[in-house]
Structure 1
Amino acid sequence: MEKIQTSRRDFLKASGITTFGLALGISGFTRDASLKKITPAVLRLEINPFIIIDTNGNITLVNPRPDMGQGSTQAVPSLLAEELEVNLEKVLIIQSDGMGKYGSQTSGGSSSVRELWFPIRKAGAAAREMLTATAAKRWNVPVSECHAEDAKIMHKASGKSLTYGELADDASKLEIPKDPKLKEAKDFKIIGKYNKRLDVPERVNGRAVYGIDVDVPGMVYASILHSPMIHGKVASIDDTEAKKIQGVLQVIKTERTMPHRTSEAVAVVATNYWAALKGKKALVVKWDNGDLEKTLSTASYYAATYDAAQKEGINAEEKGDFAVKYAAAKDKIESNYETPFLAHAPIEPENAVAHVKDDGTVEIWAPVQGPDWALRDVCGYMKVKPEQVKINVTLLGGAFGRKAYHDFVLEACHISKVVKKPVKVIWTREDDISQGPYRPGMLSHMQGFVDDGKITGFHHHAIGESIAGQVFKQLKDTEADPWLSGELATENNKYRFEGASKVSWTNVKTDIPVVWWRSVYASNFGWGQECFVDELAHLAKKDPLKARMEILTDDRFKKVLQTLAEKANWEEKLPEGSGKGLAVFSSFNSISACCITVSKKDQGVKIDKVVSVIDCGHYVNPDNVKAQTEGNIVMGLTAAIKDGITFTNGVSDQSNFHQYNIMRLNETPAMEIHIIDSGAAPGGVGEPGLPPIAPALGNAVFAATGKRLRKLPFDIANLG
Structure 2
Amino acid sequence: MSRYSDLRESIGRGSWLPRPDRRTLLIGGGAAVGLAVAWAVWPRAPGLAINAAPGEQILGPYLKIGMDGRVTVLVPQLEMGQGSFTLIAQVVADELGADWRTVAVEPAPLSGIYANDLLLEEDAQMAMPRRLVPEAVSAMGGWRRTMLAADARAMLTGGSTVLRQYEQPAREAAAVARALLQMAAADRWDVSWDECDAADGFVTNRNRKLRFGDLAEAAALLDPPEWPPLRAPGTGALFGESPPRLDLPSKIDGSFSFAGDIRLHDMAYAAIRQGPIGDTRVKRYDRKAPRAVMGYLGAVRHERWIAAVATNSWAAQRALNAMNPRFTTDGQRGDSAVADRRLKAAFAEYDGSRLVDEGSVSDAFAGRPVLTAEFLVAPALHGTMETRTATAAWEDGRVQLWVASQAPGVCRAMVARALGIGEGDVVLFQMPAGGSFDAAFEHDVAVQAAIISRAMKRPIQLVWSRTEDIMRDLPRAPARARLSATLSSGTTIDGWHAAIATPSSRHEWHGRLDGLSPQHAMEEAAGKADAAAINGARPPYLIPNVAIDHLPVNTAIPSGQWRANADSYTAFFTEAFVDELARAAGTDPFGFRIAMLGEQPELARCLQRASEIGGWSGGEAGSGQGLACLSMRGSHIALMAVARPGASGLVVERIVAAADVGRVLNPAIVRQQIESGIVFGLAAAVGATTRYRRGLANARTLRDIGLPNLGQMPAITVELLPSNRAPGGFEEIGVPGVAPAIANALFTVTGQRLRRLPLSVKPIP
Identity %: 28
CA distance in structure 1 between the aligned counterparts of 2:669 and 2:550, rounded to whole angstroms? 36
Q: What pairs up with 1:207-606 in 2 under 5 angstroms?
A: 207-229=255-277, 231-254=279-302, 264-292=304-332, 295-310=333-348, 311=350, 313-326=352-365, 328-358=366-396, 360-452=397-489, 453-473=491-511, 480-484=529-533, 486-489=535-538, 493-498=539-544, 500-552=545-597, 553-571=599-617, 577-602=622-647, 605-606=650-651
CA distance in structure 2 between the aligned counterparts of 1:41 and 1:280, rounded to whole angstroms? 43
Residues 1:342 and 1:18: Cα distance change in structure 2 (over 3 Å): farther
Partner residue in 2 for 1:21: 34
How far the C-alpha of 1:468 sits from its partner, in A, is 1.7
Q: Aligned letter for 1:507?
A: P
Residue pair 1:234, 1:265 contacting (<8 A) in 2 also = yes
Q: How many residues get paired?
A: 679
Q: Secondary structure at the match of 2:82?
A: coil
How far the C-alpha of 1:580 sits from its partner, in A, is 0.9
Residue pair 1:152, 1:162 contacting (<8 A) in 2 also = yes
How far the C-alpha of 1:604 sits from its partner, in A, is 5.1
Partner residue in 1 for 2:238: 190
Residue pair 2:617, 2:623 contacting (<8 A) in 1 also = no
Would you say 1:167 and 2:204 are equivalent positions? Answer: no
Partner residue in 2 for 1:8: none
Residues 1:102 and 1:186: Cα distance change in structure 2 (over 3 Å): closer
Residue pair 1:636, 1:691 contacting (<8 A) in 2 also = yes
Residue pair 2:279, 2:331 contacting (<8 A) in 1 also = no
**Cα deviation digits, residues 683-717 of structure 1 (max 9, x gap):** 11211111000011111111222110001112345
How far the C-alpha of 1:357 sits from its partner, in A, is 2.4
Residues 1:138 and 1:222: Cα distance change in structure 2 (over 3 Å): same
Residue pair 1:96, 1:371 contacting (<8 A) in 2 also = no
Residues 1:44 and 1:171: Cα distance change in structure 2 (over 3 Å): closer
CA distance in structure 2 between the aligned counterparts of 1:719 and 1:458, rounded to whole angstroms? 36
- Which deviates the most, 372-381 or 431-440? 372-381
* Alignment partner of 2:108 out of 96, 114, 119: 96
How far the C-alpha of 1:478 sits from its partner, in A, is 6.8
Q: Aligned letter for 2:264?
A: V
How far the C-alpha of 1:605 sits from its partner, in A, is 4.8
CA distance in structure 2 between the aligned counterparts of 1:404 and 1:573, rounded to whole angstroms? 41
Residues 1:171 and 1:118: Cα distance change in structure 2 (over 3 Å): same
* Alignment partner of 2:674 out of 620, 629, 644: 629
CA distance in structure 2 between the aligned counterparts of 1:161 and 1:42, rounded to whole angstroms? 25
CA distance in structure 2 between the aligned counterparts of 1:249 and 1:468, rounded to whole angstroms? 40
Residues 1:505 and 1:545: Cα distance change in structure 2 (over 3 Å): same
Q: Secondary structure at the match of 1:438?
A: coil
How far the C-alpha of 1:600 sits from its partner, in A, is 4.6
Q: Secondary structure at the match of 1:487?
A: coil
How far the C-alpha of 1:336 sits from its partner, in A, is 1.2
CA distance in structure 1 between the aligned counterparts of 2:486 and 2:250, rounded to whole angstroms? 56
Q: Aligned letter for 1:271?
A: T
**Cα deviation digits, residues 527-565 of structure 1 (max 9, x gap):** 111111111222222211111122222111111111112
Q: Aligned letter for 2:709?
A: R
Residue pair 1:97, 1:371 contacting (<8 A) in 2 also = no
**Cα deviation digits, residues 625-668 of structure 1 (max 9, x gap):** 11111111111111111252211222111111231121211110
**Cα deviation digits, residues 662-689 of structure 1 (max 9, x gap):** 1211110111101112121111121111
CA distance in structure 2 between the aligned counterparts of 1:40 and 1:267, rounded to whole angstroms? 38
Residues 1:325 and 1:478: Cα distance change in structure 2 (over 3 Å): farther
CA distance in structure 2 between the aligned counterparts of 1:224 and 1:182, rounded to whole angstroms? 52
Residue pair 2:55, 2:66 contacting (<8 A) in 1 also = no
Partner residue in 1 for 2:6: none
Residue pair 2:56, 2:64 contacting (<8 A) in 1 also = no
**Cα deviation digits, residues 179-202 of structure 1 (max 9, x gap):** 432222452321222222242122
Q: Aligned letter for 1:106?
A: L
**Cα deviation digits, residues 307-352 of structure 1 (max 9, x gap):** 21242531101012223432x1422211111111111111111000
Residue pair 1:352, 1:408 contacting (<8 A) in 2 also = yes
How far the C-alpha of 1:384 sits from its partner, in A, is 3.4
Residue pair 2:34, 2:56 contacting (<8 A) in 1 also = no
Q: Aligned letter for 2:298?
A: Q
CA distance in structure 2 between the aligned counterparts of 1:540 and 1:504, rounded to whole angstroms? 25
Q: Secondary structure at the match of 1:331?
A: coil
Partner residue in 1 for 2:127: none
**Cα deviation digits, residues 559-607 of structure 1 (max 9, x gap):** 1111112111213687x63321111112222112111012353585522
**Cα deviation digits, residues 416-467 of structure 1 (max 9, x gap):** 2222222111000001111111111111221111121221111121211122
How far the C-alpha of 1:254 sits from its partner, in A, is 2.1
CA distance in structure 1 between the aligned counterparts of 2:54 and 2:319, rounded to whole angstroms? 38
Q: Secondary structure at the match of 1:127?
A: helix
Residue pair 2:646, 2:763 contacting (<8 A) in 1 also = no
Residues 1:526 and 1:42: Cα distance change in structure 2 (over 3 Å): farther
**Cα deviation digits, residues 231-250 of structure 1 (max 9, x gap):** 42111121211122121111
Q: CA RMSD in A?
A: 2.7
CA distance in structure 2 between the aligned counterparts of 1:253 and 1:341, rounded to whole angstroms? 30
Q: TM-score normalised to the size of structure 2?
A: 0.84
* Alignment partner of 1:696 out of 712, 727, 741: 741
Q: Aligned letter for 1:578?
A: S
Partner residue in 2 for 1:677: 722
How far the C-alpha of 1:113 sits from its partner, in A, is 1.3
CA distance in structure 2 between the aligned counterparts of 1:568 and 1:187, rounded to whole angstroms? 32
Q: What pairs up with 1:620-659 in 2 under 5 angstroms?
A: 620-659=665-704
Residues 1:45 and 1:374: Cα distance change in structure 2 (over 3 Å): farther
Would you say 1:63 and 2:75 are equivalent positions? Answer: yes
Partner residue in 2 for 1:151: 201
**Cα deviation digits, residues 51-82 of structure 1 (max 9, x gap):** 01123322111111111111111111000010
Residue pair 2:686, 2:757 contacting (<8 A) in 1 also = yes
Partner residue in 2 for 1:660: 705
Q: Secondary structure at the match of 1:232?
A: strand
- Which deviates the most, 533-542 or 186-195? 186-195
Residue pair 1:329, 1:449 contacting (<8 A) in 2 also = no
Residue pair 2:95, 2:175 contacting (<8 A) in 1 also = yes
Residue pair 1:251, 1:267 contacting (<8 A) in 2 also = yes
Residue pair 2:33, 2:217 contacting (<8 A) in 1 also = yes
